Amino acid sequence: MTAIPPPAATAERAAAHPQRPVPSGRRGRPANPAVRASILAAALELFAEQGYDATSVNEVVVRAGVTKGALYHYFAAKEDLLYEIYRDHLDQQMADLGEILTSGHDPAAALHRVIENLVVTTITRLPVVTVFGRDMSRLAAERFAALQDDWRRYQEGVRGLIRAGQRDGTFARTTTPELASWMIFGFTNSLPLWYQPDGPLSPAGIAAELNSLVRAALDPNRPEGKEKQ
């Protein structure tokens, strides 16, 4: 297989968010991780339902069953809730991608797995993806840029696979990796708009369908079509 650059060390960044320092000789009441987690969960729900700006921190603490004091004890600002949600999501996505890219698959098989993973995790974490696409720009410029960088690297990973497949003849060269990748990402980004858990297709089934669409679109052995118009 062709050389594909690994998508950076996300493990370090994960270590930059430790559960808590806990400096050996500790005093006072112990932290309650459930409080912090319930705040994040409530924020995610509400952000997905109403949007970031339309959700007040009061609504968040009410749904989480805590008070404002608790929220501002664990988070310095409302924006931090957004950032943490994104950070977790992107870290997982990047880790998944890295695992697939370093497993020695040929480009077609790797792309197949990436699409499968992307569709399934998107559906699993639909609220995050909803908020991600809509409210990411509400973060401060610096944080926004950092997340944007990761997301860009993810895209480049996918495009690298398409390019590699085009080089070795597995994929047609009739389209650019950019356009093809946006067909994939556009599809997954649209999942929050229409996916119904009780619909006829399972997440894996949707992934399979997208894979077959992509496979057909990139098929190099297609008979010469008579393009109309």
Partner DNA sequence: ATGGCCATACCGAGCGGTCGGTATTGACGC
Partner DNA sequence: GCGTCAATACCGACCGCTCGGTATGGCCAT
Sites of contact with its own copies (CB under 8 A): 50-51, 53-54, 108-109, 112-113, 133-135, 137-138, 172, 174-176, 178-180, 182-183, 185-190, 193-194, 201, 206, 209-210, 212-219, 221-223, 225, 227-229
Cα 178 to Cα 160: distance, rounded to the nearest angstrom: 10
Alpha helices in 168-197 (DSSP H): 177-194
Cα 46 to Cα 85: distance, rounded to the nearest angstrom: 12
Q: Which two tokens stand for residue 3?
A: 């050389």
Smallest gap from residue 150 Cβ to DNA (A): 24
Q: Which does 28 bind (CB under 5 to 8 A by kind): DNA, its own copies, none?
A: DNA
Choose, by CB under 7 A, the member of 3, 12, 19, 29 that binds DNA. Answer: 29
Q: Which two tokens stand for residue 14?
A: 């994960």
Q: Which does 76 bind (CB under 5 to 8 A by kind): its own copies, DNA, none?
A: DNA
Q: Which does 179 bind (CB under 5 to 8 A by kind): its own copies, DNA, none?
A: its own copies
Q: What are residue 100's phi and psi, to 5 degrees?
A: -70, -40
CA atoms within 13 A on the CB side of 6: 10
- Cβ-proximal residues to 200 (8 Å cutoff; 6+ apart), any chain: none
Residues 46-105 that bind DNA (CB under 7 A): 55-59, 66-70, 72-74, 76-79
Number of residues that bind DNA (CB under 7 A): 28
Q: Which does 58 bind (CB under 5 to 8 A by kind): DNA, its own copies, none?
A: DNA
Cα 165 to Cα 126: distance, rounded to the nearest angstrom: 30
- Of 215, 183, 190, 205, whose CA–CA distance to 112 is shortest? 215
Contact between 31 and DNA (CB under 7 A)? yes
* Interface with DNA (CB under 7 A): 20, 25-32, 35-36, 55-59, 66-70, 72-74, 76-79
